[in-house]
A and B are shown apart, each in its own frame.
Chain A
């Protein structure tokens, strides 16, 4: 296995060539002990590739590195292994090697990718969380990139529901990127897995991110784009998904919102529109578990005046002053009610004086 690890970690060699070499020689061990003559006989390798192979054999830290990744609990899957995800195998440019920390997606269950902007609105974030929650509760696996904004929110929603979620990273699986998401990173390992085609220890380079998007789309049955600008990485994922024959759904937002422009473009091009988690589950042919309704019950308990303030709230942050002029209540009263709503978990103060509603 150590030789396989060695071969998979040869960065300068393209996946395509790795697959061919591995096909010809059958094991990493053979490749390691490849004779110079045999090597020069391979016409598809360039001089540079041969150099790489030769040089890599002299790697003195190989066994230490291998021990280390085993200690970290990182598994290596090669594209011809049985455990390598079937759905990934189907795409043409599937990665030669896949590193996994935690579990692998269950091929029998439906999987949905929740993707979107890193810098998103609270509306997008909340919707991502809701979709993540409801889909995971119905047993759908959530695939995403663990990025800030939509990605993280969707995965957090899935974890809240106790479902499984998988993060495909643009760096080694032993690196938590973004660093703030360390909590999420740990939780995902418990209830799902961290996946990457980059070898462990690889830093998050910008060029890795568009590549990993193809894995996200390949692993999922549907792709949900929650919020995206007109030119956005999430649209790359959607395009890739389209090429791979996946269903694309986009979440509508206000027509004026720059952050929803990408979603609206997708819808106009024929993507599905996200109406509610329930309808999406229907279309996915997933048996619907009874949806959450506790908030409705609580809503009934609200006093009329509280209901008035609550109905002024939105998933887009509202200022206290805005609510004051909408309701005509004195500012002190509005603040008091907002505090009560916040305590009841039905509103959230996003930044000082700006509130959103919690659904």
Chain B
């Protein structure tokens, strides 16, 4: 009856820091004192813990209690320390047997009646616990399924403080949450209803989407209002290859930190599609906060980030995307350290060609040349240069809408995409890249080599179409993907020709 400790963890962005919750109960004036660089939520734990212990019909002696959360250099936030604090106190006063929490990591929030409530970020914590050699994790019951995604570690889900105490005393053992139970059944997701066969006409755009997905290229859709830009973008996840289990865990981790994980079906099995409204702030997009939490670009990790009405976004907000688009991750720096979130996504953006949306139909377009230029001026050329593929989404004509035969469905497109991805994975297996979009300058030279005819074509295109060095490399990468879709080992002139057609717009020549 004196000193004891329980292991827990603090979440810093996606990074998990293991924390030791120490309790010392000694003779002295009755008080409950907490130290260890705590934020106010953690300090409030003292009231919750004391009341919860009382209400769980457990004894709490009127003694001097000191709680320390170490290491004291790490700022502790959130209510997830309630349960470990309670257990460490109970351990100190001998309510639960010593050594019963060895190699066990505990997190959970307490309510006043002693119930254990769910917390955020369970998956990254359990992953870290496994890495650090813990054998058991005690989690809130509602989070148990999420924790059980990690194999080879025992997960105990508890509903109340009383229940877990009985378990630790060995009086009423809680069964460990099984890993299979949660991994098994698959709920049909809402997205499976959307399919590319819903889109009539728009053959060019569909093809462009296929190429973009196959090579992980960013896609810019331009077209008049109502032509189906958003509809097409929303169907892009249906042709993405299914994520592997590692990728699923990676994606779920991010959602877990934000508490966006489903209790019953914690594992996210579909690639995310994030449609961001143009009122988004920088922090919403890349992540933010004193201890940063992931933003939309990280939520789109492994999937698609869709920016509708690109020109309506604030210019500085778009500019912050430039770095993550190149590096596929985002580093947010704060005075106490920097946080890295993954941000490997396909950017799909939709844009009207002019304020009224009808350019170049001069009979309908009411915008002046300077209006058009001003409108596009809201997007910087460096940003446009990061869009590898740019296509027009024309308004659909009646004949196409009324056509009877069903267009090609997502499943067929996905099969081709998967094949192309397979070829790329095979080619880059010894490197840390998986798709053509990630090729660096040197690798482009190696893998996107043109034959003589292709060189001539490129040279002529360069002169005739006013290409720049930046667009040149983008075109080569896209051409490589088209060749992969064609299952051709070499990049042929026909692949190159198509890729040139997808090049991004150059504002210099716009609206003239």
A residues with a Cβ closer than 8 A to B are 119-122, 148, 180, 257-259, 317, 319-322, 324-325, 330-340, 342-343, 345, 350-354
Contacts and interface: CB of A to CB of B under 8 A. Distances in A.
Contacts of B204: 319-321, 324, 331, 334-335, 353
Interface stretch (B247-255, B321-329, B356-364): B356-364
A331 B207 contact: yes
B212 interface: no
B180 interface: no
Contacts of A324: 203-204
A343 B460 contact: yes
Interface in B459-493: 460-461, 464-465, 482
27 contacts: A119-B368, A259-B362, A317-B360, A320-B204, A320-B391, A321-B203, A321-B392, A325-B400, A331-B203, A331-B204, A331-B207, A331-B208, A332-B207, A333-B494, A335-B501, A336-B501, A338-B501, A339-B461, A342-B465, A343-B461, A343-B465, A351-B360, A351-B392, A352-B222, A352-B392, A353-B392, A354-B360
A119 B361 CA distance: 11
A331 B505 CA distance: 19
A180 B512 CA distance: 10
Nearest to B458: A343
Nearest to A318: B394
A134 to B, nearest CB: 23
A336 B461 CA distance: 12
B362 A148 contact: no
Nearest to A180: B369
A258 B362 CA distance: 10
A336 B360 contact: no
Interface of B: 201-208, 222, 353, 359-363, 368-369, 390-392, 394, 400, 457, 460-461, 464-465, 482, 494-495, 497-498, 500-502, 505, 510-511
A320 B389 CA distance: 15
Given A324-B204, A353-B222, 19 more contacts: A121-B362, A148-B369, A257-B363, A319-B204, A319-B392, A320-B391, A325-B201, A335-B204, A335-B497, A336-B501, A339-B498, A339-B500, A342-B464, A343-B457, A343-B465, A351-B360, A351-B505, A352-B222, A353-B392
Determine which residue in A257, A319, A336 has the highest number of CB atoms from chain B within 10 A of its CB, and name it.
A336
B396 to A, nearest CB: 9
A319 B394 CA distance: 7
Contacts of A354: 360, 392
A197 to B, nearest CB: 27
B505 A352 contact: yes
Contact of B464 (A332, A345, A353): A345
A333 B497 CA distance: 9
Nearest to B511: A351
Contacts of A333: 494, 498
A345 B464 CA distance: 8
Determine which residue in A319, A320, A338, A343 has the highest number of CB atoms from chain B within 10 A of its CB, and name it.
A343
Contacts of A334: 204
A258 B364 CA distance: 10
Contact of A320 (B353, B392, B460): B392
Determine which residue in B205, B362, B394, B502 has the highest number of CB atoms from chain A within 10 A of its CB, and name it.
B362
Nearest to A122: B360
B362 A340 contact: no
